[in-house]
Structure 1
Amino acid sequence: MRKMSWTVVGITIFTFLLGSSGVQAATTVEPYADGRDGYLTMPLFSVGETVPRLGDPTESYRMVGLPDGLGATATSAGLELYMNHEFESDVLSRPVVGGAQVRGAFVSRWVMNASGDPVGGDLAFRSVFQDNRYLGPIATASNTSPAFGRFCSANMAGEGHGFDREIFFTNEEAGGADSFDGRGGQTVAIFDGQAHALSRLGHFTKENDVVRPNDGRRTIIM
């Protein structure tokens, strides 16, 4: 069965709108917006909260700051949610509790159950590429891999857009020396645990790239 995917952009706490039914929120954080006309806004989780790490539930994965663009893919058990963290390229954060400090912007992958509760999380990519050229592991405080700058909005694309798999597209809003290759912001494609900076889509401070739905031989990215 074909997966369904969609994109949510530019929010810092993600919510579901639910009918007033006494459903309990998964976090104690107050909602940013009030429900109207019989609906309530239920925060799911927020910065500083942790879930078991995907692949190793003995470790914990933390939602760190500056969440921005989101993309989600439906699964049989709920959904997978990809989340940008819009750090500048020299900022350090520690999403894996007790793990290495990640340098610059990165993306988290969250697994949510059918109720919308987060049940696991981890880094969405562990290696970085310039186009198809491997440059190294994700940038950390202890390595020399190039770091991304300010991941902003995002777009999830898949089979309905002409691809053979789900690909999360994000963008650097950084410019010049603060960007991945020092030449200006790039579009970045994230799939299979890899992040590929796409130089042929140009170098400039980017807000978003949107993939036009199409199942033909050509794929248009705007």
Structure 2
Amino acid sequence: MIMNPWPYPRWVAHRGAGKLAPENTLAAFKLGAAHGYRMFECDAKLSADGVPFLMHDARLDRTTSGRGIGGEQPWSALAQLDAGSWHSRSHAGEPLPTLENIARFCLANGYLLNIEIKPTPGVERETGEAVAREAARLWQGAAVPPLLTSFQVASLEGAHAVQPDLPCGLLLDKLWDGWLEAAKRLGCVAIVCNHALWDAATVALAHDAGMRALSYTVNDDWAAQRLIDLGTDGIITDRVDLFSPAG
């Protein structure tokens, strides 16, 4: 199958700047950009009152000054949290960003975004719908839309149902039965695998289906070179200080 032109670069900065700044914050995006990265990956979930915001974990405890389930709190409370002190004193007081905050930064600077839909358990489809609607609103008229990805099929179903023109990708931490058929049904343009899952046969399956082959989270030279040699199309990394995005 002939694949459509791919508008995204090979190298993608994981959660903004990997581990060099507090993940999923504007500070991380700025640091990743300072290392030359033009595309970023982030995690998006919903506050209790439906505001898409950036955070990986369901619980607030690891990466903020808050406690409990983030998705059970309104944005007015989440906006008051410190999302930087856990990482380093220099980032103390860094706030949680909304998806709109990050979109404005990316659009103003010509950066591209991979939004992983990371729902609080129990609201998978609703999160996919809300993130897709917000992405369509924020990137309306943009030359290159964000790439929406998720491990949760229900989230991708929700996103595809409300915004079928937004590109989406299926995230995989294992090759479960029916993964390729699910990706086709969802109209995915990409498969995003744990990098160890890719081999020549699996890359061929994705490419033959008209989808790109992307990998997470690649932090070693040997792993990156293996993926390049396999002909994969995108590498998500924490090591923005090691890999040149021009490579």
Q: Which structure has the higher relative contact order (CA within 8 Å, separation 6+)?
A: 2
> Which structure: greater helix fraction?
2
> Which structure: greater strand fraction?
1
Which TM class, normalised by the smaller chain length?
A: under 0.3
